[in-house]
Amino acid sequence: MSDAQTRIDETVKSNDVVLYMKGTKDMPQCGFSQRVAGVLNYMGVDYTDVNVLADDEIRQGIKEYSDWPTIPQLYVKGEFVGGCDIITEMTLSGELDTLFDDNGVGYDKDAAEKIREANA
């Protein structure tokens, strides 16, 4: 395992929720990262953000780690969940709520419901 892979593995396994993204949760640097961070922020999820633009090894390494070609990438309890489209679908269907509930991840259920109502 490369140094980048080791760092990714340690980050993913030592944090309940991790978002590998372009930019930070406070200042996303692409629309897809902004959408996923926006959902997590609005729902009040406590998560670790990793800015792939700050480290080329991590930027490439995360794609190899997950075998997923795009960023952002969301991990919950060490498991890869998906990118922007998957997280959007899971949010709107309620699957993300279930994933968080099943893994003991705290979030604002009312905020999640408001997202669904706004997109109905």
Task: Tell me whether residue 84 is annotated as binding.
Answer: no
Q: What is the DSSP string of 41-103?
A: HHTT---EEEEGGG-HHHHHHHHHHHT--SS-EEEETTEEEE-HHHHHHHHHHTHHHHHHHHT
Residue 67, phi-psi category: left (phi > 0), alpha (psi -120 to 50), beta (remainder): left
Feature table: binding site: 30
Feature table: binding site for [2Fe-2S] cluster: 30
